[in-house]
């Protein structure tokens, strides 16, 4: 060691960061004063046992080296507070790591570690553990003993179970868990993120655990195919068909008990959906994942292709991987062959085809067996929940509550051992599960919990089904509500109205009046000539869910011209004004500096939405519309779609029917380094940057209440 290094060795901090070292510098052991040692970004392959001579070491950085194993002597340095060992080839951690009683920070990212020793749980001072991108299959059960742990980074491992004992780690505030196969956290909680997972684990760790065997079965199909009778037959095989059975209006919710193949009782919540088209868009809020679907059809109907196309597509979109059983009811009367092989190829989640008769009982027991088999495969069956959660739910069901004020609900929870914070967490979980309806972020609805969702949804559908409202094309006033909801208390009306607004079923049109867009006239107030001078944009769908444009109408209600609305479209207008300067005292006059109009039209048979725009700022109004449609798409699990934008070549610019480019295709061309795209009509090459400059899909934020818009375009944020 030269004199310079000798002097350095007297210091408490030594750094050989990125010096190209192949071995650990032995000369370091001549000093016992070192507290901070940085050897990051070298080629060191092993740590010598003599490292235990550095007894004053507090921080050791050996990240970004070639180290494969750790000597036990390393963990004899009991003053260590921080260790960096990320980006090496370490496979195992010695058990005597428990000696590091002062260790607060441990970095083990990007190694080959498959297991952590149980002694890890004795690192009582550990606050932050980084062990992402390893090969861990599990975490030690005694991780809950890490009373000071605050953050746990386990990204990209093979971990399947998070130990419940983690809930005992009182200081734990954040887990980075993505990239694993964790299966013991209910999806409704898992999807909420780190905070929800930690809350769940803490609740489990302080209470007895109970397994929940419960699932949701949804029957869908057109009206009058026998869905209700079939469900009654499933529930009671001795049930006799009522020939005068009335078609379901809205949704009916019931339950039954199934006995699994291993003799476990499973509660099956039965959702019977009315099949009339008027309900299609509203039903979408209740078609959920991790459920089982029965699509019921009957052979006497002539519109089978339309039925199968709509219902199987909407289930696949909203139910995702949920199993589907295709059931032909009334098979005792007539049966029609269908192409089962093609259907199964197209819709991968079809699990079987059944012929039944709710009237005679034919095929019903076989259907129950198929339902049982599919339910047992659902990954949430048998989820563990705190016993208090189950007890609270049972109490509410026993008391037959339809709704509760939030204060009353919290009182009940507190009597059952849950504090206010845990009670609100539980209400959110049961909301996501479909047990409750509680919109805790809503200014009005946050004050009420719909403990019986059937009671609330029945009120919603009752208004939609009211004849005089239908005859008035969906327009009604507050004064009409007492005629619609005669069996409900007047104090409930505001909650039902807010619930319908939340579901984007209605919006206000002034003077205590409302409109249900789905009930509007089917006749458009526009002729073909109305679109002259407008730019045309199109969104095309392989499958277009119902109600996108009516929901869009609700979202953009403050821009909508309510004199020009109909079931499949609406006109909207965005006006920007400025205050006229130099006015007399007390005067406030404004002038229009920008005006843009639009017409949005749903064309369900063509599976597209057409947007016509004209005025001073077409791009900004387009962005407002697309932004709100994108939010609807997200709520519908992102149906596949393609935005088409008009060509800007000389010929198309003068045409009322210009060529349309696929926006995704333009972006793809640009990513591949193409600067131009060819017009399909004129064959003129169009400049892509110029095209995107005119019709860019900016990231925007739009407050429909205030009509304030924030456009975020690349690196520039500005307000309109």
Structure token digits, residue 158: 């093979």
Question: How many CB atoms sit inside 10 A of residue 717's CB?
Answer: 11
Q: What is the mean pLDDT of each run of 10 residues along the chain (720 residues)?
A: 43 93 91 93 96 96 98 97 98 96 98 96 96 96 90 97 90 94 91 94 91 93 89 92 77 92 93 84 86 90 81 93 93 80 95 93 95 94 94 94 96 95 93 88 94 92 95 97 96 96 93 95 94 94 96 96 97 90 78 93 97 94 95 94 95 92 93 94 94 65 39 29
- Judge if 475 and 618 occupy the same domain: no
Task: Write down the pLDDT at residue 697.
Answer: 61
Residues 497 and 538 placed together within one structural domain of the fold: no
245: domain range?
Answer: 214-377
Helix H or strand E segment including 664: helix 663-671
CA dihedral 462→465→471→477, nearest 10 degrees, is 20
The C-alpha atoms of residue 124 and residue 147 are separated, in whole angstroms, by 6
> Does residue 324 share a domain with residue 278?
yes
Residues 6 or more apart in contact with residue 597 via CB below 8 angstroms = 571, 572, 573, 574, 613, 614, 615
Domain boundary among 504, 531, 554: 504
CA angle in degrees (0–180, nearest 5) for 365-249-224: 50
Please state, in angstroms and rounded to a whole number, the distance separating the CA atoms of residues 228 and 245. Answer: 8
Residues 202 and 219 in one domain: no
> 3-state SS of 133-190?
CCCCCCCCHHHHHCCCCCEEECCCCCCCCCCHHHHHCCCCCEEECCCCCCCCCCHHHH
CB 440 within 8 A of CB 429: no
Same-domain pairing of 114 and 246: no
447 CB neighbour count, 10 Å cutoff: 14
Q: Indicate whether 511 belongs to any domain.
A: no
Are both 399 and 357 inside the same structural domain? no
Q: What are phi and psi of 606, to 5 degrees?
A: -95, 0
Closest to 556 (Cα-Cα) out of 699, 709, 696, 438? 709
Is 514 domain-assigned?
A: no
At residue 709, the pLDDT reads 37
Contacts for 673-681: CB closer than 8 Å, 24+ residues apart: 679/647, 679/649, 679/651, 679/652, 680/647, 681/647, 681/649, 681/651, 681/652, 681/655
Tokens 């800007």 found at:
648
> What is the predicted pLDDT for the residue at 718?
23
Count: domains in the chain: 4
- What's the farthest any 2 CA atoms get from each other in the chain? 104
Alpha carbons 372 and 96: distance in angstroms, whole number: 50
533 and 477 together in one domain:
no
Choose one of 504, 537, 556: the last residue of a domain. Answer: 504
Helix (H), strand (E) counts: the chain = 20, 33
Evaluate whether 269 touches 215 at the Cβ level (below 8 Å). yes
DSSP letters of 297-331?
A: E-TT-S-HHHHHHHHHHHHHHHSTT--EEEEE--T
pLDDT number for residue 109? 98
Tokens of 701: 């934020």
Domain identity same for 22 and 69: yes
CB atoms within 10 A of CB 42: 21
Identify whether residues 538 and 465 lie together within a single domain.
no
Is the same domain home to 302 and 364?
yes
Which 3-state string (H, E, C) describes 401-425? CCCEEHHHHHHHHHHCCCCHHHHHH
Q: Which of the listed residues 180, 206, 232 is the one where a domain comes to its end? A: 206
Q: What six digits make up the tokens of 373? A: 């088999």
Other Cβ atoms within 10 Å of 276 Cβ, number: 16
DSSP helix/strand/coil, 650 = helix
Q: What is the CATH number of the domain that holds 244?
A: 3.40.50.300
**DSSP string across 547-609:** THHHHHHHHTGGGEEEEEEETTEEEEEEEEEEEPSSPPTT---EEEEEEEEEEEEEEGGGTEE
Can you give the CATH number for the domain in which 29 is found?
A: 3.80.10.10
What token pair was written down for 659?
A: 């060529």
pLDDT at 361: 93
Is there a domain that residue 359 lies in? yes
- Residues 632 and 491 placed together within one structural domain of the fold: no
pLDDT at position 323: 97
Nearest by Cα to 273 from 218, 321, 319? 218
Measure CA 258 to chain center. Answer: 30
Beta carbons of 343 and 304 less than 8 angstroms apart: no
């Amino acid at each position: 060691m030269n004199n310079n290094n000798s002097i350095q060795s007297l210091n408490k901090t030594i750094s050989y960061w990125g010096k190209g070292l192949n071995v650990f510098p032995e000369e370091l052991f001549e000093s016992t004063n070192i507290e901070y040692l940085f050897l990051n970004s070298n080629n060191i392959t092993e740590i010598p046992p003599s490292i235990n001579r550095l007894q004053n070491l507090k921080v050791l950085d050996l990240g970004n080296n070639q180290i494969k194993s750790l000597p036990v002597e390393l963990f004899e340095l009991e003053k260590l507070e921080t260790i960096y060992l990320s980006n090496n080839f370490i496979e195992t951690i010695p058990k005597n790591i428990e000696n590091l009683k002062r260790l607060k920070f441990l970095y083990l990212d990007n190694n080959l570690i498959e297991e952590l020793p149980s002694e890890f749980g004795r690192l009582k001072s550990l606050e932050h553990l980084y062990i992402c991108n390893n090969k861990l299959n599990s975490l030690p059960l005694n991780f809950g003993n890490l009373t000071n742990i605050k953050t746990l980074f386990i990204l990209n491992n093979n971990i399947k179970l998070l130990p419940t004992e983690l809930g005992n780690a009182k200081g734990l505030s954040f887990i980075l868990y993505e990239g694993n196969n964790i299966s013991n956290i209910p999806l409704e909680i898992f999807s909420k993120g780190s905070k929800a997972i930690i809350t769940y684990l803490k609740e489990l760790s302080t209470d007895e655990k109970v397994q929940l065997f419960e699932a949701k079965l949804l029957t869908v199909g057109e009206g009058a195919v026998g869905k209700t009778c079939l469900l009654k037959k499933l529930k009671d095989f001795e049930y006799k068909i009522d020939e005068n059975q009335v078609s379901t209006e809205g949704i009916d919710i019931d339950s039954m008990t199934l006995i699994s193949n291993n003799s476990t009782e499973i509660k099956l919540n039965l959702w019977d959906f009315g099949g009339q088209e008027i309900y299609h868009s509203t039903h979408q809020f209740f078609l959920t994942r991790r459920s089982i679907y029965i699509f019921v059809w009957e052979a006497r109907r002539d519109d089978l292709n339309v039925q199968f196309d709509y219902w199987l597509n909407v289930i696949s979109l909203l139910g995702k991987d949920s199993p589907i059983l295709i059931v032909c009811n009334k098979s005792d009367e007539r049966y029609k062959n269908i192409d089962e092989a093609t259907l199964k190829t197209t819709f991968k989640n079809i699990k079987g085809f059944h012929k039944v008769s709710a009237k005679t009982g034919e095929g019903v027991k076989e259907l129950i067996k198929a339902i049982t088999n599919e339910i047992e495969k659902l990954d949430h069956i048998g989820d563990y929940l705190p016993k208090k959660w189950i007890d609270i739910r049972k109490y509410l069901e026993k008391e037959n509550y339809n709704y509760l004020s939030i204060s009353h609900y919290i009182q009940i929870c507190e009597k059952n051992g849950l504090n206010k914070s845990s009670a609100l967490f539980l209400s959110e979980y049961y909301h996501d599960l479909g047990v409750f309806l509680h919109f805790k972020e809503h200014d009005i609805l946050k004050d009420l919990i719909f403990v019986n969702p059937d009671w609330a949804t029945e009120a919603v559908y009752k208004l939609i089904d009211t004849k005089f409202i239908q005859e008035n094309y969906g327009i009604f006033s507050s004064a009409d509500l007492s005629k619609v909801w005669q069996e409900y208390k007047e104090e409930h009306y505001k909650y039902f109205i807010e619930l319908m607004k939340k579901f984007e079923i209605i919006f206000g049109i002034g003077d205590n009046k409302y409109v249900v867009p789905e009930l509007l006239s089917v006749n458009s107030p526009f002729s073909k000539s109305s679109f002259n001078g407008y730019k045309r944009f199109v969104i095309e769908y392989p499958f277009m869910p119902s109600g996108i444009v009516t929901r869009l109408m609700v979202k953009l209600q403050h821009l909508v011209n309510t004199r020009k609305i109909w079931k499949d479209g609406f006109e909207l207008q965005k006006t920007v004004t400025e205050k006229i300067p130099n006015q007399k005292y007390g005067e406030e006059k404004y002038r229009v500096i920008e005006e843009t109009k639009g017409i949005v039209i749903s064309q369900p048979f063509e599976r597209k939405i057409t947007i016509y725009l004209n005025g001073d700022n077409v791009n900004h109004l387009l962005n407002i519309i697309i932004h709100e449609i994108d939010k609807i798409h997200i709520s519908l699990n992102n149906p596949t779609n393609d935005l088409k934008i008009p060509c800007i070549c000389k010929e198309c610019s003068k045409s009322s029917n210009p060529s349309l480019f696929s926006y995704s295709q333009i972006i793809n061309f640009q990513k591949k380094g193409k600067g131009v795209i060819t017009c399909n009509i004129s064959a003129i090459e169009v400049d892509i940057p110029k095209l995107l400059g005119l019709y860019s899909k900016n990231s925007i934020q739009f407050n429909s209440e205030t009509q304030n818009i924030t456009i975020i375009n690349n690196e520039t944020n500005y307000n309109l």
